[in-house]
Amino acid sequence: MKIAIGNDHAAVELKQEIKAYLEELGHEVVDLGVNTTESCNYPEYGAAVGRAVVNKEVDCGVLICGTGVGISIAANKVKGVRAAVCSEPVTARLVKEHNNANIIAFGARIVGSEMAKAIVDAYLGAEFLGGRHQTRVDLIHAIEE
Ligand code: RB5
User: Is ligand 1 within 6 A of the CB of residue 68?
Assistant: no
pLDDT for the residue 44: 98
Dist. CA 85–CA 38, nearest whole Å? 24
pLDDT in tens, 27-43: 999 999 999 999 999 99
pLDDT in tens, 86-145: 999 999 999 999 999 999 999 999 999 999 999 999 999 999 999 999 999 999 999 999
- Most ligand 1 atoms within 8 A of CB, residue of 7, 8, 37, 87 to mutate: 8
Residue 103: name the closest of 69, 62, 73, 71 by CA: 62
User: Is ligand 1 within 6 A of the CB of residue 106?
Assistant: no
User: Is ligand 1 within 6 A of the CB of residue 65?
Assistant: yes
